[in-house]
Amino acid sequence: MQAADKTFIQLLNQHQKIIHKVCNLYLNWQEDKEDLFQEITLQAWKAYGQFRGDAKFSTWLYRVALNTAITFFRKDKKKDFIESVADLPENIDFAERDSIEEKTQAMYKAIASLSKIDKAIVMLYLEDYSYAEISEIIGITANNIAVKMNRIKVKLREATLKNFERI
């Protein structure tokens, strides 16, 4: 095994949570997540020779993972990728929910209703990446990221208010 191979394996093992997060964001079924995980790993391996080290490995891996997930999704290889907003419970009462896990699941369902790019931006934002870092990963300007993030927040806020009005 060559040194580059060992380095790639070490870096991938260190940062595989990134791949899992992307898989969880875009897919619901475990088998589909495993397929996407393998596809992202394969694409990262193929592209590793082009990794120059200009950015952190984690930033580069996010870019590869998100691009692969979006391509995977776009090709429509799988069914039932994300649950639609219609699958959300009609009467979500966040004030009465006592389980953090339920709140987290509800948040992920709301995020799942966003476009592919918006989901990626939210995921990176929740990971405390700066707009500049998100910009580098997604490939659009930091100003565009800021505008998109403000619009996303409004969408998520409106979705939450609609759920409260139904109660």
> Within 13 Å, how many C-alpha atoms sit on residue 19's CB side?
22
Given 56, 81, 106, the domain boundary residue is 81
Over the stretch 69-115, which tens digit does the pLDDT of each residue have?
Answer: 888 766 544 444 343 334 444 444 444 434 455 555 666 677 778 88
Nearest Cα neighbor of 24 from 138, 166, 123, 157 is 123
Are the CB atoms for 143 and 153 separated by under 8 Å?
no
Question: Domain limits at 134?
Answer: 85-167
* Domain containing residue 36: CATH number: 1.10.1740.10
pLDDT for res 102? 56
Calculate what percentage of the chain has a pLDDT beyond 90.
Answer: 20
Do 65 and 101 belong together in one domain? Answer: no
pTM of the model: 0.58
Please tell me the total count of domains within the chain.
2
Do 13 and 63 belong together in one domain? Answer: yes
Given 81, 101, 124, the domain boundary residue is 81
Are the CB atoms for 39 and 22 separated by under 8 Å?
no
Instruction: Name the pLDDT band for 151 (thresholds 50, 70, 90).
Output: very high
- Inform me whether the pLDDT recorded for 32 exceeds 50: yes
